[in-house]
């Protein structure tokens, strides 16, 4: 029987007493008190970030967060008390702690507007067993405004953008990325710092996090004023996202699976022969041989007889290679034997079924060292460019209740389960960085947790079905993931499980062709453009040849992706340098336009593009909402429309509804077969008039970590709409091989004037040598 410890009245003698009120102790940049048998600490980490920590009185807790890496920074906090309320105030946030109830509430220090509040007596600790140890079920309830819209929780495949009215069990599994974080249209975010399975509930009575085990209620309130500001605070709290190499933003081809090294290299050769751009090729599982040798981190001698030749051949073709690695090992592997001997396996079944594979203890630093030792010797020493870390939840099959009682380095598996992908990616990222600074770490992962952005992880949406309803859900999946603070997300273009289409002709099924074409259009406007799946191969030549409709559509959008690489790479720099985001809901760019708050069918790509994927079969047109407050250009025609209304856009198979915000400045790259083929010494700059605008073009050495030492360059562009003047500022910074003289082909986009990927004559061409220049139109 569970015993519940509620907030019940307990008086105590504190360090200083006031006869008519409860007492508290000042603690650095915060306070602590004991109220209703609960020890409470409220502490400012910055003017915008506040930590609230509650635990049963008498508990001795020294918690080191797995996700939070920020230490409290020096912050001016004014603390005062009146009656039974302690008020703590920074320049941004005012916190009120009720000494009678233990409730905490938050107010904007600037406007005085209430932001967020705990529910009265909303903290509950229920005695439970966690394996053989005493623990608590920990629950904290809050009260939100009736019509308040919230985003986040990682990736929940419920098809919803607004997560109000949901009850979600947050436990990582394939296709579900579970992160106990949400942010509100009121401009704040909440991170619940627990790694145990947690139930998030929102109903008309309350909003609550309820973790199955834990020793404390521990959450962080962060105020950012808007979507981008909250993401900035979450990154400040949990870590910044490093730059990925330029090539990874190109087109990446995969399949479940290439079965020999010759097959894999041949795919790259065929793309080069077709002159269709390609930058990445992915080697999926079983390159190690049979399942009893699962994840041996070595190549089977029959199917991959010369792995070094394979890697070198890919590189000679100017492409890059992902290699898959799993967290589980079959008993036949030396890794399994060493981990078993050192008691570093978690004893439950993971993929594949029947092979008796076990995951290693990712929470153990020594185990992570051992894992990398094998990965480095068997694979990384050959020179691949990126890792596909599959099953990072991990897969858990033949589930038994006692599996969650399994011990790990940090406690039971239950207590740290959701942080598995965070710990696993940490090991690979940090070890590769220690091994080499010349090759940026790239991790493609199937799951994530708060803070994982700091390990250069790009998470895909899992092994999803290849159908229209699943495709439609990928948009809110991506946006909620991004609003949780993790900027890099992608999905298997065409969906993973495509076997249902084989009954209708497979690759020749007209509906599958349509679905794939539409999905690839969406993929061109995600942080990683990657085609992958089982049952039906997806390489472009599977769809015929030039002149065949779907081949032409696929080629068109791959080329479009490469045309906007300077825009994408500069947006990636904004992610790293300014805590920005790549995929953003309409609210992120237009916080005053409430009509856009719950739109889950379109999104912003960076700060300039509005994208509306076609996610229904056979549609001839789509109703597109254009946010208020600006004008919008149809990317394909140049037609201008006022924001704040819906417009009908025709959607032939080769058109994705795509709009550009007035005031945008878009750099347009050269036609290439791979990202690094040509320097950006002859760029087209497209200006979309109708509002003032600015853009920063970012360039570096495209790989390595020299940019962290300031080895990069930027060029700021500014458009003055009233004066019709484009200012190109002095180039700042420097790096080896930097372009010092170049041409800019300037186009002022005109209404009803084609602006797609067809050639458009520039209005002016200028020579730029790195110095300020103003161009009048």
Backbone torsions φ then ψ of 370, nearest 5 degrees: -65, -45
The DSSP 8-state label assigned to residue 248 in this structure reads G
C-alpha distances in Å from residue 396, one per residue of 154, 170, 357, 400, 651 = 20, 15, 10, 10, 42
Nearest alpha carbon to residue 641 among 621, 656, 626, 657: 626
What is the spatial distance between Cα 587 and Cα 489, in angstroms, rounded to a whole number?
19
What is the spatial distance between Cα 340 and Cα 462, in angstroms, rounded to a whole number?
29
Backbone torsions φ then ψ of 468, nearest 5 degrees: -65, -45
C-alpha distances in Å from residue 711, one per residue of 40, 234, 364, 565, 731 = 46, 26, 35, 20, 13
The number of angstroms, rounded, from the C-alpha of 465 to the middle of its chain's C-alpha atoms is: 21
* Choice among 41, 94, 284, 390 that is catalytic: 390
What is the spatial distance between Cα 275 and Cα 272, in angstroms, rounded to a whole number?
5
Residue 462: which region, alpha, beta or left (left: phi > 0; alpha: psi -120 to 50)? left
Q: Is cis: bond before 394, omega within 30 of 0?
A: yes
Which residues, 6 or more positions from 147, have their beta carbon under 8 angstroms from its beta carbon? none
Residue whose token pair is 């918690």? 63
390 is catalytic: yes
3-state secondary structure of 99: coil
Residue whose token pair is 């990126």? 386
In this structure, the strands spanning 93-98 and 104-108 are: antiparallel
In this structure, the strands spanning 489-490 and 457-460 are: parallel
Strand partners, 648: 623
Residue 28: which region, alpha, beta or left (left: phi > 0; alpha: psi -120 to 50)? left
* Choice among 393, 552, 593, 699 that is catalytic: 393
In this structure, the strands spanning 609-611 and 167-170 are: unpaired
Which residues, 6 or more positions from 68, have their beta carbon under 8 angstroms from its beta carbon? 191, 193, 220, 237, 238, 451
514 is catalytic: no
CB burial of residue 436 (10 Å; 0-12, 13-18, 19+): middle
Q: Output the six-digit token pair for 721.
A: 């709409």
Pairs from 589-596 (Cβ < 8 Å, separation ≥ 24): 589/627, 589/661, 590/627, 590/628, 590/629, 590/643, 591/185, 591/187, 591/226, 591/227, 592/628, 592/629, 593/627, 593/628, 593/629, 593/643, 593/644, 595/625, 595/627, 595/628, 595/644, 596/625, 596/627
- Other residues' Cβ atoms within 10 Å of the Cβ of residue 548: 12
The answer to whether 544 and 551 are in contact (CB under 8 A) is: yes
CB burial of residue 84 (10 Å; 0-12, 13-18, 19+): middle
* Choice among 137, 212, 218, 463 that is catalytic: 463
The answer to whether 412 and 405 are in contact (CB under 8 A) is: yes
The number of angstroms, rounded, from the C-alpha of 775 to the middle of its chain's C-alpha atoms is: 38
Rounded to a whole number, what is the largest CA-CA distance in the chain?
Answer: 87
Please identify every residue annotated as catalytic. 390, 393, 463
């Amino acid at each position: 029987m569970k015993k519940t410890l509620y907030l019940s009245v307990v008086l105590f003698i504190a360090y200083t007493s006031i006869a008519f009120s409860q007492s508290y102790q000042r603690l650095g940049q915060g306070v602590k008190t004991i109220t209703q048998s609960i020890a409470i600490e409220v502490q400012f980490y910055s003017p915008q970030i506040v930590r609230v920590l509650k635990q049963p009185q008498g508990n001795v807790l020294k918690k080191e967060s797995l996700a939070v890496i920020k230490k409290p920074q020096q912050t001016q906090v004014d603390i005062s008390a009146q009656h039974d309320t302690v008020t703590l105030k920074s320049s941004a946030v005012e916190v009120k702690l009720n000494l009678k109830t233990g409730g905490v509430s938050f107010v904007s220090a600037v406007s005085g507007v209430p932001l967020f509040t705990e529910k009265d007596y909303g903290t509950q600790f229920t005695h439970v067993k966690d394996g053989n140890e005493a623990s608590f079920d920990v629950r904290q309830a809050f009260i939100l405004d009736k019509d308040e819209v919230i985003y986040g929780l990682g990736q929940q495949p419920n098809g919803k953008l607004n997560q109000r009215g949901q009850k979600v069990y947050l436990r990582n599994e394939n296709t579900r990325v579970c992160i106990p974080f949400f942010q509100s249209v009121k401009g704040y975010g909440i991170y619940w710092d627990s790694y145990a399975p947690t139930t998030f509930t929102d109903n008309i009575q309350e909003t609550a996090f309820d973790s199955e085990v834990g020793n404390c209620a521990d959450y962080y309130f962060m105020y950012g004023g808007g979507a981008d500001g909250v993401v900035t605070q979450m990154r400040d709290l949990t870590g910044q996202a490093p730059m990925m190499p330029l090539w990874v933003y190109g087109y990446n081809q995969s399949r479940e699976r290439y079965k020999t090294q010759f097959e894999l290299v041949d795919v790259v050769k065929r793309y080069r022969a077709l002159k269709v751009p390609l930058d990445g090729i992915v080697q999926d599982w079983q390159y190690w041989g049979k399942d009893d040798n699962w994840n041996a981190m070595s190549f089977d001698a029959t199917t991959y007889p010369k792995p070094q030749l394979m890697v070198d051949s890919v590189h000679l073709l100017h492409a890059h290679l992902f290699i898959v690695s799993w967290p589980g090992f079959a008993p036949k592997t030396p890794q399994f034997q060493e981990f078993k001997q050192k008691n570093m396996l978690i004893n439950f079944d993971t993929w594949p079924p029947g092979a008796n594979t076990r995951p290693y203890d990712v929470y153990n630093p020594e185990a992570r060292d051992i894992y990398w030792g094998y990965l480095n010797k068997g694979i990384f020493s050959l020179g691949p460019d990126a890792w596909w870390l599959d099953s990072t939840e991990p897969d858990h099959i033949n589930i038994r209740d006692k599996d969650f009682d399994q011990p790990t380095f940090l406690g039971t598996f239950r207590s740290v389960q959701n942080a598995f992908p965070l710990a696993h990616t940490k090991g690979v990222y940090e070890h590769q960085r220690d091994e080499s600074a010349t090759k940026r770490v790239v991790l493609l992962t199937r799951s994530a947790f708060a803070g994982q952005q700091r390990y250069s992880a790009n998470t895909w949406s899992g092994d999803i079905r290849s159908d229209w309803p699943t495709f439609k859900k990928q948009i809110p999946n991506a946006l909620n993931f991004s609003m949780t603070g993790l900027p890099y997300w992608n999905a298997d273009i065409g969906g993973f499980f495509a076997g249902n289409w084989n009954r209708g002709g497979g690759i020749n099924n007209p509906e599958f062709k349509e679905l794939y074409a539409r999905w690839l259009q969406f993929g061109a406007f995600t942080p990683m453009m990657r085609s992958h799946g089982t049952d039906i191969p997806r390489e472009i030549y599977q769809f015929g040849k030039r002149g065949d409709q779907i081949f032409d559509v696929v080629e068109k959008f791959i080329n479009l992706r490469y045309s906007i690489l300077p825009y994408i790479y500069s947006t990636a720099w904004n992610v790293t340098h300014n805590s920005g985001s790549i995929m953003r809901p309409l609210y992120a760019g237009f916080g005053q336009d409430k009509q856009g708050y719950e739109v889950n069918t379109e999104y912003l790509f960076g700060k300039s593009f509005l994208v509306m994927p076609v996610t229904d079969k056979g549609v001839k047109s789509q109703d597109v909402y254009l946010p208020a407050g600006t004008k919008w250009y149809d990317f394909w025609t140049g037609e201008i429309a006022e924001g704040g209304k819906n417009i009908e856009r025709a959607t032939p198979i080769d058109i994705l509804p795509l709009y550009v915000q007035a005031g945008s400045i878009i750099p347009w790259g050269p036609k290439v077969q791979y990202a690094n083929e040509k320097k950006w010494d002859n760029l087209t700059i497209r200006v979309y008039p109708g509002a003032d605008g600015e853009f920063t073009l970012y360039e570096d050495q495209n790989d390595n970590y020299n940019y962290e030492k300031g080895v990069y360059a930027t060029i700021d562009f500014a458009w003055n709409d009233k004066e019709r003047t484009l200012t190109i500022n002095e180039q700042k910074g420097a790096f080896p091989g930097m372009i010092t003289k170049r041409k800019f082909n300037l186009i002022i986009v005109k209404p009803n004037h084609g602006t797609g990927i067809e050639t458009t004559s520039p209005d002016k061409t200028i020579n730029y040598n790195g110095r300020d220049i103003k161009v009048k139109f």
